[in-house]
Amino acid sequence: MPTPILVLNCGSSSVKYQMIDVDTEEVLASGLVEKIGLEDGNLTHKTGGQAYRIEETIPDHTAALSLVVRSFEEHGPSLKDAVAVGHRAVHGGDLFREPVLIDQSVMDGMMSLAGLAPLHNPPGVLGMKAALAVLPDIPHVAIFDTAFFSTLPAEAYTYAIHAPTAKQYKIRKYGFHGTSHSFVSKEVAEFLGRDVTSFNQIVCHLGNGASISAVAGGVAVDTSMGLTPLAGLVMGTRSGDVDPGVFAYLQREAGMDSQAVDTLLNKKSGMAGLADGSSDFRDIWAKVVAGDENAQLAYDVYIHRLISYIGSYIAILGHVEAITFTAGVGENDQHVRASVIERLSAFGIHLDPELNAVRSPDPRAISTPDSSTVILVVPTNEELAMARETYQLISK
Ligand code: AMP
């Protein structure tokens, strides 16, 4: 008897979903609703090796969820078998430190944090309301992107800014991509045949968004994203760390308002900002090979930033047994991995180039046997992580 969980990730104009059997961890169905609120809305539902498409105007999240239900009814598997729904929730702020059963107070709490995640929490709550309306008889669970980092010590999450202002506006490091960092750090332990509480590790989640975490005995002790997902590593279109003075400087000298600076740093910076619009590492690498100087600089800045964080997390953790690469770039780009590991040789960390060149969907080690730290590539799977966490909560 399978135990299917529906996982939902609701954005402002999209809903991604998967139905996962938590017993076998098989994906029974997956789908994507796009362009909610626009005329040319569409839904693609995949199950049993087939894809089914609906194209029609989808005015809001309620209509989107009704279409999802219709797709399951028409093409299967049966939604009636689902035992719970897991919802991706981006910002838990200081209110939510672990997955919770969704009720009105949870949704109110998420809305009270809307200022911290204006693009994510309000659509997330819209999706929760719509899903509760169409699937009222099973538990709905919120899984927060920030939760894994609620264990950060005060010295890691506190910004050295005027304390009363920080307190009033809840300004601190929260961290994001927590579901992925938590999932991958546990997968690493399983791959190594170790108890996650028995060793220290660093996880590099390098996708279009990118973040790195220091995990001591399974507990997050530092991470690169901050109050918002703009901080830290260089990303596809996000700058990562800059001097905070850049904000006032651009307002004063370039006459940009806060929205314009925010857009510049979030959407027009990072790899795309440095490499003439290219944010995908396949494009970046093609340009580097062709001798493009801007792409080369973007690549060098990316690697420099990553090395700086890894070095600092080695210092924070003291002893590190595993450094893991995950997400689109981390799992697929052997050049990035090689460039990073080459620069860590002073720590006795060494890459096996042949293992690094292997392409595989499975977790794997890519370091030499004499490397002081094991280097791993471990695919992330946020949907599976959400399904597992949802099941854990409803089984309590
Ligand atoms: P994600 O956000 O985890 O889906 O990662 C997306 C990013 O992964 C893309 O923007 C690319 O930069 C990178 N990526 C995906 N596939 C490859 C590949 N085969 N080689 C290099 N980079 C890749």
Tally the residues of the chain: 396
Shared domain for 90 and 236, answered yes or no, is: no
Question: If you measure from the C-alpha of residue 208 to the centroid of ligand 1, how many angstroms do you get, rounded to a whole number?
Answer: 7
pLDDT in tens, 147-202: 999 999 999 999 999 999 999 999 999 999 999 999 999 999 999 999 999 999 99
**pLDDT for the residue numbered 134:** 93
* Ligand 1, atom 18: closest residue by C-alpha: 332
Domain count along the chain: 2
The four Cα atoms 315, 333, 262, 117 give a dihedral, to 10 degrees, of: -80
Average pLDDT taken over every residue of the chain: 97
* Ligand 1, atom 4: closest residue by C-alpha: 328
What CATH number is attached to the domain comprising 325? Answer: 3.30.420.40
pLDDT in tens, 133-144: 999 999 999 999
State residue 350 phi and psi, 5-degree precision: -135, 140
Compute how many other C-beta atoms are within 10 angstroms of the C-beta atom of residue 78.
Answer: 11
**pLDDT for the residue numbered 373:** 98
**pLDDT for the residue numbered 12:** 86
| Residue 117 structural domain | 4-144
The yes-or-no answer on residue 352 being catalytic is no
Q: How is residue 147 written in tokens?
A: 């939760």
Q: Are 377 and 387 in contact (CB under 8 A)?
A: no
Can you tell me which residue has the tokens 């027009």?
268
Shared domain for 356 and 236, answered yes or no, is: yes
For the CA of 236, the closest atom of ligand 1 is 10
Residue 1: is its pLDDT beyond 90? no
State the average pLDDT over residues 312-339.
98
Shared domain for 297 and 200, answered yes or no, is: yes
Shared domain for 136 and 203, answered yes or no, is: no
**pLDDT for the residue numbered 183:** 98
**Residue 155 located in a structural domain:** no
Shared domain for 336 and 210, answered yes or no, is: yes
Question: If you measure from the C-alpha of residue 327 to the centroid of ligand 1, how many angstroms do you get, rounded to a whole number?
Answer: 7
Shared domain for 243 and 301, answered yes or no, is: yes
**Residues with C-beta less than 6 Å from any ligand 1 atom:** 207-208, 236, 279-282, 327-329, 332-333
Shared domain for 137 and 252, answered yes or no, is: no
Shared domain for 102 and 22, answered yes or no, is: yes
Rounded Cα–Cα distance for residues 323 and 10 (Å)? 31
State the average pLDDT over residues 5-13.
94
**pLDDT for the residue numbered 147:** 98
pLDDT in tens, 64-122: 999 999 999 999 999 999 999 999 999 999 999 999 999 999 999 999 999 999 889 99
In 3-state terms, what secondary structure has residue 198? helix
Q: How is residue 332 written in tokens?
A: 């697929």
**pLDDT for the residue numbered 119:** 86
Shared domain for 210 and 316, answered yes or no, is: yes
Among 87, 115, 144, identify where a domain stops: 144
Q: ω before 123 within 30° of 0 (cis)? A: no
In 3-state terms, what secondary structure has residue 92? coil
pLDDT in tens, 237-267: 999 999 999 999 999 999 999 999 999 999 9
pLDDT in tens, 354-384: 999 999 999 999 999 999 999 999 999 999 9
Shared domain for 203 and 138, answered yes or no, is: no
Shared domain for 47 and 133, answered yes or no, is: yes
Question: If you measure from the C-alpha of residue 322 to the centroid of ligand 1, how many angstroms do you get, rounded to a whole number?
Answer: 22
What's this model's pTM, rounded to 2 decimal places? 0.96
State the average pLDDT over residues 126-135.
95
Rounded Cα–Cα distance for residues 375 and 80 (Å)? 43
